[in-house]
Amino acid sequence: MANTRVERVADQIKQIVARLIHNKLKDPRLGMVTVTDVRVTGDLQHASVFYTVLGSEEERVQSGKALESATGMIRSSVGKQLGLRLTPSIEFIPDALPDTAKTLEDLLAVARARDEEIRRRAEGATPVGEADPYRKPKGEDAATAAVAEDAEVQDEADEPETGESESTV
């Protein structure tokens, strides 16, 4: 079972950091930053803050540098607002979720394109061989042969086996 105190502290840190980034940080390098998740160790000594940045790769790098330079001020504010005996150290980590989502979207687009190509090829295609690939009896001769074959199988099942099963007295 998950530790509820750790989850509560992580949620509080997430809210505090998001407010600080939005309201207090005035660094011009800081772009559109969203705090996506916070993970805190069980002893509440370390907090990993995951974030995403809306924009280009250069904006992501610049926002990361701005967050790293403001880590001390953010940690100080978190410590004051949490009221814990020890303030957790804070580490900012760019979240891989948008990159993973982009990769999945690209893979789905490739799969859709392949499905469309297969559908286009199948439109005018005809089956190889006959339309119905299953064997069917032809006429009365085939029907009587099937009945005779079933009778032979039934006769073999009814006959007792010879050998050890018969006892002599």
Confidence of residue 152 (pLDDT cuts 50, 70, 90): low
Give the per-residue pLDDT at 142.
Answer: 56
Task: Answer whether 7's CB lies under 8 Å from 49's CB.
Answer: no
* Residue 138 pLDDT > 90: no
pTM exceeding the 0.85 threshold for the entire prediction? no
Average pLDDT score over the chain: 82
Half-sphere exposure of 23 (CA within 13 A, CB side): 8
| Structure confidence by residue, pLDDT tens digits, 10-49 | 999 999 999 998 888 888 888 888 899 999 999 989 999 9
Distance CA(11)–CA(19), nearest Å, equals 12
